[in-house]
Amino acid sequence: MATDTAAQTLKPSERMAVRASQELQDRQVVFVGIGLPNLACNLARATHAPQLFMIYESGTIGTLPARLPVSIGDPTLVTDSLAIVSQADIFQGYLQGGLIEVGFLGGAQVDKYGNINTTVIGDYDNPKIRLPGSGGACEIATHSQQVLIMMRMSPKSFVAKCDFITSPGSRMDSTKPSPQLGRTRQEMKLPGGGPTKAITDLGVLEMIDGEFTLTEIYEGVTVEQVKQNCGWELKVASSLKTIPNPSEETLDILRNKIDPEKLYL
Amino acid sequence: MQHFRKPKLTPNKLVSMKEAIADAVKPGCNLYLEGFTHLISFAAGHEIIRQQIKDLTAIRLTPDLVYDQLIEAGLVKKLVFSWAGNPGVGSLHALRRVSQKDSAKKIEMEEYSHFGMVARLLAGSSGLPFWPLKNYEGTHIAEVNPKIKSIDCPYTGEKFATVPALNPDVAIVHVQRADKEGNAQVWGLMGTQKEAAFAAERVIVVAEEIVDTSVIRRDPNRTLIPGILVDHVVHEPWGCHPSYAQGYYDRDNQFYVDWEDISRDPASYKNYLDAFVFGVKDRHEYIQKMGTDLMSRLKAKPRKCEGVDYGY
């Protein structure tokens, strides 16, 4: 069968991009990040969601990138956009104004509530590793109607508790003390809906009753493998779905049209 | 307290980068060298390094490579920022060397999110002491930055985060074109250029092209920064490399990728600064040193718009 050849060389990054693209619906307003989210969004646009409305943090609205953007401010994002706006407009009008339907996030650490750390590993004042910081992630997590997380699983990245919370999930929980610890998103009156799914290299975790639960695994992946790569006691759905391998056609678009230079795949 | 600002009406503000930096950037000042991936004045950053202007508070959403170079050169006392990395590539290694547990020497850091930094400029540019935003609940960002506070809305009683006004001593803004008075036109990504220019005490406009005022007047909607805010105008073609200027030249992505290795090792970092910053007297020499293929490799392909009719 044709799909066997494609499946034999399937990379985790390809599985993630394809699975994430399936979450997107035509005409949805998406806040796109560089890397895998960008691949997922542009794959969706090239397949089932040709009118996907893409907004990038640098201020491009209704973006139609002709090449794969290599940074969030790539000039290809500007050319042919519907509008270019200041960053004041991006954060106030588009994000805080509630226009973003789907936001994408990733990070160094995520917990079972979908809290994300992109700030420090270790103590804030004396960190083991200094990470880039929030950028727009905190406001994407706060204001998007729905957040999709894209991260590879490992016990170091899917942690029982984050060292620092940069972007809020469904409930605050962390190694770092805070007066807000234990409070839910609703109790803290966060405007957006928060993380709904984590698309990983092993499967999909879904936010069910405020906690990530394994609901889907890729072909060839075992539940045991997923559990071993998760730093907390992972809940598993009773009706676990298997994600079929992508079609030859989809892989061809992804590999040869979206990221031919293999920058992110 | 009413804050009046004196309009800067000098008809010809054109000076060299060397003169502009020497006059406007003082030791210990709060520096805002703007650019969000697009229009980053590496030329200004390199001149600050050549002049060894110390104890700077370096402020910007995305410190990028140019602030990392200021840090490696030992000129930064404090960094105020919201995302510190090599965009699309990796880390800022000079910053890592002065911000981690095993660092021999550390710099002060004050951290927001992008929205927080933008909000600070909005307050600073409009003469208000603070700006409200629906942010930071459920995170530790406000807890490690005591300057982020909160306010109860006088209309709804809802609680909002607030950030204090940011009024840099000097803002450096690279633009596509400006006249000699500093009326500056920008297209493509605008970042926080306008807000930074309005918020800062002193403003340096660096332009790819200097045009006659009549060119500016024929397309007034494109003017982002009025000359009355501007102290100095510097003509610096290719002044953003390895960053880019829409319609002029592309981002040198290969440089950003190579930088990861150059900057990880302090020795190769020093070699770079010695050769491409201290080893050249100005931007013109830097571009020459980058080699003949630079311009052919990165020069933008034309993509003109229809233009508009301002008639009445």
Q: Look at residues B59, B170, A196 and name the one whose alpha carbon lies nearest to residue B70.
A: B59
Average pLDDT over residues A53-61: 97
Q: With a cut of 80, say whether residue B306 has pLDDT above it.
A: yes
With a CB cutoff of 8 Å and minimum separation 6, the contacts of A223 are A214, A217, A236, A240
Taking one residue from A and the other from B, the number of pairs with CB-CB distance under 8 angstroms is 176
List, for residues B178-220, the tens digit of each pLDDT value: 999 999 999 999 999 999 999 999 999 999 999 999 999 999 9
Residue A118 has pLDDT above 90, yes or no: yes
**Against a cut of 0.95, is the pTM above it?**
yes
Residues on chain A touching B141 (C-beta within 8 angstroms): 119, 134, 138, 166
- Find the mean pLDDT for residues A36-43: 96
Rounded CA separation B67/B85 (Å): 10
A71/B36 CB distance under 8 A: no
Q: Name the DSSP letter for residue B22.
A: H
CATH classification (class only), B14-100+167-298: alpha beta
At A5 the pLDDT is 63
Q: Express each pLDDT in B69-111 by its tens digit.
A: 999 999 999 999 999 999 888 899 999 999 998 888 899 999 9
Q: Give pLDDT tens digits for A147-161.
A: 999 999 999 999 999
Inter-chain touch B88–A34, beta carbons under 8 Å: yes
Distance CA B304, CA B161 (A): 43
Long-range contacts of A219-223 (CB under 8 A, 24+ apart): A219/A7, A219/A243, A219/A244, A219/A245
Q: Does A1 score more than 50 pLDDT?
A: no
pLDDT tens by residue, A86-107: 999 999 999 999 999 999 999 9
pLDDT tens, residue by residue, B213-258: 999 999 999 999 999 999 999 999 999 999 999 999 999 999 999 9
Asked if A132's CB is within 8 angstroms of B83's CB, the reply is yes
| A133 alpha-carbon distance from chain centroid | 16
pLDDT for the residue A4:
56
Which chain A residue has the Cα nearest residue B119?
A88
Give mean pLDDT, residues A209-226. Answer: 97
The reply to whether residue B113 touches residue A143, judged by beta carbons under 8 angstroms, is no
To which residue do tokens 């406009």 refer?
B205
Handedness of CA B43, B78, B165, B168 (dihedral sign): negative
Does any CB of chain B come closer than 8 Å to the CB of residue A87?
A: yes
Give contacts of B122 with chain A, Cβ < 8 Å: 88
Beta bridge partners of residue B80, listed in sequence order: B59, B110
Cα B265 from Cα B93, distance rounded (Å): 8
Residue numbers in B near A136 (CB within 8 A): 83, 113-115
Task: Flag whether pLDDT at A32 surpasses 90.
Answer: yes
Q: What is the mean pLDDT of chain A?
A: 95
Domain boundaries, chain A: 2-256
Which contacts of A223-229 are long-range, i.e. CB under 8 A and separated by 24 or more positions?
Answer: A226/A153, A226/A202, A228/A155, A229/A153, A229/A154, A229/A155, A229/A158, A229/A202
Cα separations (Å) of A226 from A150, A248, B228?
Answer: 15, 26, 61
Cβ of A142 within 8 Å of Cβ of B138? The answer is: yes
* pLDDT the model gives residue A2: 46
pLDDT-wise least confident of A173-182, A223-232, B180-189: A173-182
**Is B1 a residue whose pLDDT tops 50?**
no
In the CATH scheme, what is the homologous superfamily, with its name and number, of domain A2-256? Glutaconate Coenzyme A-transferase (3.40.1080.10)
Instruction: Spell out the residues 6+ positions from residue A252 whose beta carbon is closer than 8 angstroms to its own.
Output: none
Query: What is the pLDDT confidence band of residue B3, given thresholds at 50, 70 and 90?
Result: low
The CA distance from B273 to B270, in Å, is 5
Residues of A in contact with B137 (CB under 8 A): 142, 168, 180, 188-190
Return the domain boundaries, chain B.
14-100+167-298
